[in-house]
Structure 1
Amino acid sequence: MTGIIEIVHFRLTSGSSEEDFLEEAKKASRFLQSCQGFVRRHLSKGGDGAWIDHVEWTDMEAARAAADALMKAPSLAAFIAAIDASSAVMAHNRLMLMAE
């Protein structure tokens, strides 16, 4: 089994609405789907207000290229601005087991 799981833990900036953020997250999903190596994405929110963005990639190079492109995409500026950068923690892990 191969693949990379990208996990980002974050909170929204104060003043960002969940509804607006989810609309921007949909735009980000469409962007990510257009990136080479994209497999799937899940976005979840905990009861404490913390979010987890879980993206599966075919390989690390694809994950890095997509992250770089996303940060530079003018159409995703509102998505990026809604994330409290000081709370964001990103990790990349090798996929070891999957059950569906």
Structure 2
Amino acid sequence: MTQILERVRFRTLPGTDEAQFIAAAAAISDWAKTQPGFAYRTLVRDGEEWIDLAFWSDLDAAKAASAGFMEANGSSAFMAMIDPESVRMEYLSQMHSAMAA
């Protein structure tokens, strides 16, 4: 089975406080940890855009979590700070990985 990387690029709304946004992201991580197949999540910034990266055991687990995400988190503080028009999500198959010994 191939591990899946879910990559979501987006911008926050103008005036969003970065510290509050990162705190709100932690609540989403707590939710993600309860989802079957979840492995790892990290949030990075690329200029004006944010990139939310989540690793899943397989595509089915990633898509199941995505399907339930808005129901569970649609009205969350995290989502309230995101420009919905800027969201771009994709699933990528992990082809190689390496970790420190």
Normalised TM-score (structure 2):
0.89
Give the root-mean-square deviation of aligned CA atoms.
1.6
Normalised TM-score (structure 1):
0.90
Confirm or deny that 1:81 pairs with 2:80.
Answer: yes
Q: State the Cα deviation string for residues 52-84 of structure 1 (Å, max 9, x = none).
A: 101000111111111122211158621112111
- Identical columns (%): 36
* Alignment coverage as a number of residue pairs: 99
* Unaligned ranges ≥5, structure 2: none
1:76 and 1:65 map into 2 onto residues whose CA distance is 19
1:9 and 1:75 map into 2 onto residues whose CA distance is 17
State the match for 1:61 in structure 2. Answer: 60
2:95 and 2:48 map into 1 onto residues whose CA distance is 29
* Unaligned ranges ≥5, structure 1: none
Displaced runs of 4 or more, over 4 A: none
1:74 and 1:58 map into 2 onto residues whose CA distance is 21
Q: Which amino acid aligns with 2:55?
A: E
